[in-house]
Amino acid sequence: METVLRKGKQPYFTEEHDALRERVRQFVKKEVSPYISEWEELGTFPVSMFRKMGSLGFLGLRYPESVGGQGGDYFMQMVLAEEINKCGAGGFPMGIAVQTDMATPPILQFGSPYHHEHFLKPAIRGEKIAAIGISEPNTGSDVSSIQTRAVKQGGEWVLNGAKMYITNGTRADFVTMVVRTSDEPGYKGISLFLVETDTPGYSVSRKLDKVGMRSSDTAELILDNVRVPDKNLLGVEGKGFYQIMWQLQGERMIAAASAIGIMDFCYEKAAEAVENRGPAYRRSLLDIKRRIEVCREMTYATAFRYSQGEVPSKEISMIKLLSAQTAHYAAGQALKLLGEEAAGPDHPVQRLWRDSRLNRIGAGTDEVMKEIIAKEIGL
Amino acid sequence: MSHWIFSEEHDMFRSSFKKMIRNEIESRIENWEEDQLIPKWFIARLSELGLTGMTPDREKSMDEVMEAVLMEELAKTGAAGPALVLQEHNNAVSLLDRTNKSKLVPDFLSAALEGKRIGTTVAADPGDMTVKIKEGFFNLNGRLKNVRNGGMADFLILSFFDDDKSGFITVDFASEGITVQKTENMLGWRSSSVSEVEFRNVKISTENLLCQGDEAEKQRRLINDQKRITWSLICTGIAEKALEAAVSYSRTRQQFGSALSEFQSLRHKMADMALNLEKSRNMTYRAVYDSIYNIDSFQRQIVLEEAVSMALHVCDEALQIHGGAGYMMEFPVQRFWRDTKMFDLHLNNIPAEKVVMSL
């Protein structure tokens, strides 16, 4: 489906997008917001949410119908990300985004018919929970230095190592895993595998305790002689670094869309409460609003290019950086305007201030984004 | 693919216009800045090529997006002057065109469209100037400060408020009683030849009245709207030039045993500059779009403030990256810095009153 610029109105969204937005809003209102504080307390959200969202088609909005998706364009995905991020916490939407925009796009892009059948389709239906395994205890920003190693033995690969900060990690059914498959240093010799979590040797060593994003579970994983069949190799052996760099572009795009939802939500909360308290409050609101609108425009303009099949990595890095900083700023300013009454454990704005801090770290830190931009402008 | 607002035709236009600028304008900028004057042939040449926006044959006039490309690229000459000069001329032309007074067509509109006569627009400060109607004439006394194109323009479209009257009149600089004095060594915008114009008992026929009252108010709003977008485009162009200068200087300048471009503090500074530039650029293009379709958006209201603060940041940091060289008149970065500050000084003159109300 091609995105059509709506001439003479706002250019990005059609009536179909608006209709989806309304559906997602209703879903969030009925099925998410009433329970979010409970899930925050719990440190995770119910597995049934994947099923529910799968049956509504929300987990495959932009995937082709041939794999069970809705065949929509990228702005459909943007709508979902924005709206579920208005549920009052960043954790639950992050768990969903890992399912829809981080762990599964490489399966569609690089996967075999077997991968589509066995992993992608059940993930779109919400029957299998997906996670993505990139970071390790010793490797964060520097992806090319990962140490988890796969050695080929007959028709199988034997995996050893550890993965860190894995969202959905405590209950994933499979992990799209980045692993080293040869002794070549750096980005050479890295490959992707789809690892099923019921394979012997796979274990969750601990559930991590985080300052924010608490309604999403995060795990450390141990791989101890995990035997993965050769057919679970995703894409081309040795090309995993390029594949994961491609994946990260989508991850950064959706991070920006999610951030838009967070900043809109925080702004609305603050505006509702203090709009009538006089000019000083209005000036502060205006300052937040301006930053949001600038961020939104650049994010949409970049998303438009992405929806047309282009992957403009400079602009994607820019909106990832900008949206992360703006969302956290907006949440912080909104919190400040609301005052101490917003500091209570169930107040969504203090929660989003903690949650949005992760946007400046995950999917590439602010500093990593700046390095990419620097390279792209010729430095 | 560039931004969605541009078609292939626009991209092609941009690259051919770039060539024209490189061949005919860029090498002369330093002289024009020094002379504090852009020669008249600049507008004549652009008119001859059909590059002023509106053309005598309206069918061949540019669309608004092309005009945006034109202004942005002109600003990439590294000075605001040429784009400002063209904008003031175009403002005068489009005012004459929209108000369409047939008596004024041959001497002013047609001549201006052909680039034979150059126009400018300016608002009279009621404290400095009086405009009285006497026996079928406007009687003008006083002075106008900060008239851009003053050194080159043949006629002026004057916006006035006086005696509860307001309107626009066309004034020929050749009229008796007018003296033009160039204001030398302004902070910036030097090539736009800012001047002071003095009026001593100048008589202008009432036929030169373009519009008055509510109609004049409407025209003022249109001009301000256009100005907001054009100035944002100029800021974008100059900032892009400043960033390019910083990147290229940092790659050649060696300190502490390596190029400046190797230092992470400077790499991240330039990444921030690039990001700031791109976000303002996207806002500006969106404002162009919203203006074409007459969408009354938040983007349109705040675009200029965003563009100016972006350009101030980018040009200031570009100067910083040049170190001592950035402070030297022989490097153009000091001009980018001065020229963008001028926009900041003018921000208060372009009201964005709706922004606060829209909250």
**How is the beta sheet containing B195-205 ordered, strand by strand?**
B129-134, B137-147, B195-205, B178-182
Is domain B8-113 given the CATH code 1.10.357.10 in the classification? no
| Other Cβ atoms within 10 Å of B296 Cβ, number | 10
Kind and range of the H or E run holding A80: helix A74-84
Which residues of B are less than 8 Å from A286 in CB distance? 355-356, 359
User: Phi and psi (nearest 5°) for A333?
Assistant: -70, -40
CA distance A152 to chain B (A): 40
pLDDT at B26 > cutoff 70: yes
Span B215-353: which CATH code? Answer: 1.20.140.10
Which residues of B are less than 8 Å from A373 in CB distance? 271, 274-275
| Interval B66-125: pLDDT, tens | 999 999 999 999 999 999 999 999 999 999 999 988 889 889 999 999 999 999 999 888
Q: Is B282 within 8 Å of A301 when comparing Cβ atoms?
A: yes
Sequence-distant (≥ 6) Cβ neighbours of residue B160 within 8 angstroms: B123, B124, B126, B129, B131, B166, B167, B168, B169
CA distance A376 to chain B (A): 9
Name the residue facing A308 among B1, B250, B274 (closest C-beta): B1
Q: Is B1 within 8 Å of A305 when comparing Cβ atoms?
A: yes
Q: Which of A220, A251, A341, A376 is flagged as catalytic? A: A251
CA distances (Å), A274 to each of A38, A88, A253, A285, in order? 28, 19, 32, 9
Sequence-distant (≥ 6) Cβ neighbours of residue B198 within 8 angstroms: B142, B143, B178, B179, B180, B181
The CATH label, of 2.40.30.10, 2.40.110.10, 3.40.190.10, 2.60.120.260, for the domain at B119-211 is 2.40.110.10
HSE-CB at A325 with a 13 A cutoff on CA atoms is 17
pLDDT at B352 > cutoff 80: no
Averaged over B310-324, what is the pLDDT? 95
pLDDT at B353 > cutoff 50: no
CA separation for the pair B335, B356 (Å, rounded) = 33
* Cα dihedral across residues B100, B102, B106, B108: positive or negative: negative
> Which domains does chain A possess?
15-125 (1.10.540.10), 130-239 (2.40.110.10), 241-376 (1.20.140.10)
Q: What is the mean pLDDT of chain B?
A: 91
- pLDDT at residue A213, rounded to an integer: 96
The answer to whether A318 faces chain B, any CB pair under 8 Å, is yes
Orientation of helix B264-292 relative to helix A279-307, angle to 10°? 90
User: Phi and psi (nearest 5°) for B254?
Assistant: -100, 130
| Interval A232-256: pLDDT, tens | 999 999 999 999 999 999 999 999 9
CA separation for the pair B346, A79 (Å, rounded) = 39
HSE-CB at B331 with a 13 A cutoff on CA atoms is 21
| Interval A47-68: pLDDT, tens | 999 999 999 999 999 999 999 9
Tokens 């990690």: give the residue: A169
HSE-CB at B253 with a 13 A cutoff on CA atoms is 17
**Three-class secondary structure of residue A140 per DSSP:** coil
pLDDT at A4 > cutoff 80: no
Q: How confident is the model at residue B351 (pLDDT cuts 50, 70, 90)?
A: low
DSSP string, A349-372: HHHHHHHHGGGGTTTS-HHHHHHH
Which residues of A are less than 8 Å from B243 in CB distance? 377
CA separation for the pair A306, A318 (Å, rounded) = 14
- pLDDT at residue B56, rounded to an integer: 79
Interface residues on B facing A, Cβ-Cβ cutoff 8 A: 1, 3-4, 243, 247, 250-251, 261, 264, 267-268, 270-272, 274-275, 278-280, 282-283, 285-286, 289, 293, 295, 297-299, 302, 306, 355-356, 359
Tokens 């860029």: give the residue: B26
Closest Cα in chain B to A308: B1
The answer to whether A369 faces chain B, any CB pair under 8 Å, is yes
Which residues are B129's β-sheet partners? B142
Averaged over B15-37, what is the pLDDT? 94
pLDDT at B164 > cutoff 80: no
Return the percentage of chain A with pLDDT > 90, whole number: 92
pLDDT at B179 > cutoff 50: yes
Which residues of B are less than 8 Å from A312 in CB distance? 1
| Interval B231-279: pLDDT, tens | 999 999 999 999 999 999 999 999 999 999 999 999 999 999 999 999 9
pLDDT at A107 > cutoff 90: yes
pLDDT at A326 > cutoff 70: yes
- pLDDT at residue A9, rounded to an integer: 67
Helices (H), chain B: 8-24, 29-35, 41-48, 64-75, 81-99, 111-113, 213-252, 264-292, 298-321, 333-346, 354-357
Which residues of A are less than 8 Å from B279 in CB distance? 294-295, 297-298, 318, 322
Tell me, yes or no, if the pTM score tops 0.90.
Answer: no
Q: What is the number of CB-based contacts under 8 A between chain A and chain B?
A: 92
Q: Where in chain B is the domain with CATH 1.10.540.10?
A: 8-113
Most confident region among A2-16, A164-178, A340-354 by mean pLDDT:
A164-178
- pLDDT at residue B245, rounded to an integer: 97
Q: How confident is the model at residue B347 (pLDDT cuts 50, 70, 90)?
A: confident
Under 8 Å between Cβ of A377 and A314: yes
Which residues of B are less than 8 Å from A315 in CB distance? 278
Q: Is B286 within 8 Å of A297 when comparing Cβ atoms?
A: yes
Closest Cα in chain A to B266: A374
A69-74 long-range contacts, CB within 8 A, separation 24+? A69/A124, A71/A1, A72/A1, A72/A16, A72/A20, A73/A1, A73/A2, A73/A3, A73/A307, A74/A3, A74/A253, A74/A303, A74/A306, A74/A307
Kind and range of the H or E run holding A306: helix A279-307
- pLDDT at residue B154, rounded to an integer: 96
| Interval B138-155: pLDDT, tens | 999 999 988 999 989 999
Name the residue facing A286 among B270, B299, B355 (closest C-beta): B355
Averaged over A196-214, what is the pLDDT? 96
- pLDDT at residue B125, rounded to an integer: 85
Q: Is B247 within 8 Å of A321 when comparing Cβ atoms?
A: no
User: Which two three-digit tokens encode residue B325?
Assistant: 């060289």
Q: How confident is the model at residue B357 (pLDDT cuts 50, 70, 90)?
A: very low
Most confident region among A4-18, A216-230, A335-349 by mean pLDDT:
A216-230
CA separation for the pair A52, A29 (Å, rounded) = 14
Quote the strand ranges of B124-177, DSSP E.
129-134, 137-147, 155-162, 165-172
CA separation for the pair B170, B202 (Å, rounded) = 12
Under 8 Å between Cβ of A213 and A361: no
pLDDT at A277 > cutoff 70: yes
Annotated catalytic residue A251: yes
- pLDDT at residue A3, rounded to an integer: 44
Sequence-distant (≥ 6) Cβ neighbours of residue A172 within 8 angstroms: A129, A130, A131, A166, A197
| Interval A122-173: pLDDT, tens | 999 999 999 999 999 999 888 999 999 999 999 999 999 999 999 999 999 9
CA distance B271 to chain A (A): 5
pLDDT at A2 > cutoff 80: no
pLDDT at A46 > cutoff 60: yes
Q: Is A379 within 8 Å of B302 when comparing Cβ atoms?
A: no
Which residues of B are less than 8 Å from A3 in CB distance? none
pLDDT at B349 > cutoff 80: no
Of A72-86, A238-252, A274-288, give the lowest mean pLDDT range.
A274-288
CA separation for the pair B203, B137 (Å, rounded) = 6
**Three-class secondary structure of residue B329 per DSSP:** coil
Residue B220: Cβ-neighbour burial (10 angstroms; 0-12, 13-18, 19+): middle
| B61 vs A44 pLDDT, higher one | A44
pLDDT at B162 > cutoff 80: no
Of A317-321, B52-56, B237-241, give the lowest mean pLDDT range.
B52-56
Q: Is B4 within 8 Å of A305 when comparing Cβ atoms?
A: yes
Under 8 Å between Cβ of A148 and A162: yes
Q: Where in chain B is the domain with CATH 1.20.140.10?
A: 215-353
Q: How confident is the model at residue A376 (pLDDT cuts 50, 70, 90)?
A: very high
pLDDT at A377 > cutoff 70: yes
Q: Is A294 within 8 Å of B306 when comparing Cβ atoms?
A: yes
Distance of CA B71 to the CA centre of its chain: 8
| Other Cβ atoms within 10 Å of B183 Cβ, number | 16
Q: Where in chain B is the domain with CATH 2.40.110.10?
A: 119-211
